[in-house]
Amino acid sequence: MQRLTNKRVVLGVTGSVAAYKAGEVIRELQRAGAEVRVVMTRGAEAFVAPLTFQALSGHPVHRELLDPGAEAAMGHIALARWADCILVAPASADFLARLAAGRADDLLTAVCLARGVPLALAPAMNARMWEDAATRANVQTLRNRGVLFLGPEEGGQACGEEGPGRLLDPVVLAARLGELFEVGSLQGRRVLVTAGPTREPLDPVRFFSNRSSGRMGFAVAAAAAEAGARVTLVAGPVALEAPDRVERVDVTTAEEMLAAVSRFAPEADVFISAAAVADYRPREVRPGKIKRTGESLTVELVPNPDILATVKSRWPQVFCVGFAAETGDLDRHARAKLAAKGVELIAANLVGPAAPEAGGVFDAEDNALTLYWEGGSMELGLAPKDKLARALVAAIAQRLAAWEAGGGGTVVSLHRR
Ligand code: PMT
């Protein structure tokens, strides 16, 4: 099936030597069933004449932000409303910078800013420009806002250099854009995920934390987005890039994580708590560095809020999935957590020395999960975390449907009315 059938695509073309390939992109999008309107930046016009894209798309090319005639016909707001998605191909380094800065100083940035639809960027630039720290930071900022990056590819470049920076093949671009419209098992659902550890400060240079790398939670967020959900990922301090199409919020402490989660939970359909939240924090954060005295030091720890249990009790309409990280007796502890936190599902994993075949799980490639719910359980065997996350998301979609069919989640309407 053509995934882009009847889809309206605004194709943005920016100033890159790859601008000439946008003609092929138009053709491939049309072949996949899409209707295409082209917006060009001034930089793009230096490489290709607008008439080329007008002839290929069958529509006038949009170029001016402050053109009264154009605004009357189809201005930036109308274009943004018309689109089912926006693809910028090629996206230059300068365009990424302007978009990351929230500029609206030409038609294309204004359309992107005014959109309520998915935005995909296919970068094309010199390899060094792509790898420059400023570009990396802009890409990260845009990813964190849920922008999808398609490419770039590695290979020989127009400037004679080799490396990442080539525009993705137009056939692949059209196919990847089509995936945005795939109907997945969590299509249209809002999913909130937590991942990584929290850090609980003791003084300006020390903190309490744990071994979580965030890999499991990030894989779950990616799998939920792949299944069609609108995903918000609340992440503790980790060294990972946000998955495509996922909105990311960074936090440090458990209390910050609770505050961020509480902002998004009221609108969520599903909450997946994969974060290894520190159960305790120092009662007092010392203003200066604690000096070594040679004496023993006693630090008083106080309990942190239980984020998962709080969400379930405040917003019972949200389908809640907890993780349980155990060093033994998985079945008993997982069932106890299912009951104590009042959640719909627990994904339990053995960790540390109890999981040698999964490399201890923390910061490892693999994991093995067993799922528990009231009256049932299911083993998802040892697998790479991304694969396991997809299986978990499929199981969540199934349990969610069963829960809703049985009357779970109906508090929503009572609650929100
Ligand atoms: O990040 P990785 O390196 O990939 O490792 C993955 C993982 C082992 C961290 C992950 O698979 C995992 O098990 N995450 C949950 C870790 C944990 O804190 O488990 P717990 O059994 O202590 O907590 C039970 C549940 O309550 C969890 O859903 C946890 O997010 C939640 N919780 C715990 C304490 C707290 N104060 N608030 C909470 O919400």
CA of 363 to the centre of ligand 1 (A): 13
Q: Is 255 in the pocket of ligand 1 (CB under 6 A)?
A: no
Rounded to the nearest angstrom, the distance between the alpha carbon of 185 and the centre of ligand 1 is 24
pLDDT at 68: 72
In the chain, residues under CATH classification 3.40.50.10300 are 190-283+296-406
Q: Can you list the positions of beta strands (E) in 253-361? A: 270-273, 280-282, 301-303, 319-326, 345-350
pLDDT for 73: 64
Which tens digit of pLDDT belongs to each residue from 302-318? 999 999 999 999 999 99
Which among 101, 123, 129 has a CA at the least distance from the CA of 113? 101
Task: Delimit the CATH 3.40.50.1950 region(s) of the chain.
Answer: 8-178
CATH architecture of 8-178: 3-Layer(aba) Sandwich (3.40)
* Residues 6 or more apart in contact with residue 167 via CB below 8 angstroms: 16, 18, 21, 89, 90, 122, 123, 124, 151, 152, 153, 173
Q: Which residues contact 263 (CB under 8 A, 6 or more apart)?
A: none
- Catalytic residue numbers? 159
Supply the pLDDT for residue 244.
Answer: 86
Given this model, what pLDDT does residue 46 score? 97
Verify whether ligand 1 is closer than 6 Å to residue 346 (CB atom): no
Q: Is the CB of 366 under 6 A from ligand 1?
A: no
pLDDT, position 1: 46
The segments of the chain whose pLDDT lies below 70 read: 1-2, 69-73, 410-417
* Interval between CA 407 and ligand 1 midpoint (Å): 28
Instruction: Assign domain 190-283+296-406 to a CATH class.
Output: alpha beta
- How far apart are alpha carbons 119 and 101 in whole angstroms? 16
Site to probe by mutation for ligand 1, drawn from 277, 318, 346, 396 as the one with most ligand atoms within 8 Å of Cβ, is: 277
- Ligand 1 contact, 349 CB (< 6 A): yes
